[in-house]
Structure 1
């Protein structure tokens, strides 16, 4: 393990101890000063290249087979089944040889293959119901089981993507593809799902200190998924509101409705920022700052820029963005120089 990787690992453990209350903020700061973070993390770059490379190779092989061979749906289902077995077998072989990320990438490709296989089988045995979200529910259950059985965080991330698609499709199918489901438009129903997911993530995080320790890190995926869904939902609600009554047409949301959702969004991000600062949780701070900036610019372009005109409005927006980038970069450089400075 390189010194940089060791320091990152120690810093992550120290942050975890702070969130658990095992050390005080003063003790955390004192210990963290001994493990300096600097230079480029080449190991992280390698992980991303392995993921990108694996997906690219799989896409290239599929396109090659598609161009040179004639596939019926039955042939395609057989080919996907064989590929599924080979991918998971290959991942298991590499794992036994001591590799860490290549097996996870192969298992991720196996998860994507599983989704494709389920839809091909769904088309072959279709009853004409059009209930494709049911296939995604099966995929979601299988991917969650595989994520925990194989201890693969990439499969866990894929599960969140499948959940997003399944939940939107399931509620849409149940509502006859109308705009509302129990009086909620899509953003509002995803906001409710996000709250439940974040709650599950918090419980998972606490359990990781005890009987879920082997799956340490999975809680961050749950929490990140829930926060992202909530942020995107509140962004749309802050612009459009809940659109209108369940049995009525869309309407231009009133000022009080938009004010309510904007206030809820801002307060949520301020709470997220405060929690991230208190627990030294960079992910929470990053989400909060990013979406506070997005909210400010959304309000500017929807409420102020039209009155200023195209030229002046966009000049002010571009100038403020440039100032923000320069300020953030100066803070980043100052933080890095503090880390590199001899103790």
Structure 2
């Protein structure tokens, strides 16, 4: 039986919520995950228990400004500048390093853009060398056309972020744009931890990371050994085309690189009809790079 435990991770005055899913038997690999915008670690349904049943320990964190790491209204969406975001991520990853089993890092959506930024930041080369592989689920490398803001809105927001960095904007994403599953859509609407707000400074930093990735300004580390990028072709939140462009531009630099398009899938591959294929692909990819594929496990309902 999978052992799920909750805890906290303290860093620079913040106490961040964590959750861990451990296999009942030997740990074959570790996966450290970073969630997306307006999300939290408990919204990945059967994905993490499934990985744990396959022998992969999962370590998740509600990032600064999100989920149960929010203690007051003023905390909502207050993720900070990119330097703060990357420092939080690196410190959390280091809690599992060094490791006697391979360590992998997964980022979804906003978290995927953060993971790619981390893997492109020279300051963290010592950490990057210790990561066996990187998994990107629908990474935020560019906006899907449905959510693309005008250049005027982007420019005005960046300017305002310097004057009122903690001013909050309400940035809802329609549940229908992230999953085709009506049950999951209903659960999103009912989830009180999904506050749909971001500060001007946090949103500007996220846009800067996205621009750096899509433009090629951020150079992926030569120490990235393996990378698996997956994206749904019907994603209405982040751009499938921008993800594919990033992969094509960087593929030759990565010794072991794979891109998989999920035809007709929406933004949350882990919560879309047919998610079982995504679960298995990620587990198999990790275990193949850990020296074992391990036994298959039954995939439970997502809710």
Taking structure 1 as the reference length, what is the TM-score of the superposition?
A: 0.27
Compare the two structures and name the one with the higher helix fraction. 1
Bigger relative contact order, structure 1 or 2, given CA contacts below 8 A and separation 6+?
A: 2
The structure carrying a bigger strand percent of its residues is: 2
- Specify the structure having the higher radius of gyration (Cα): 1
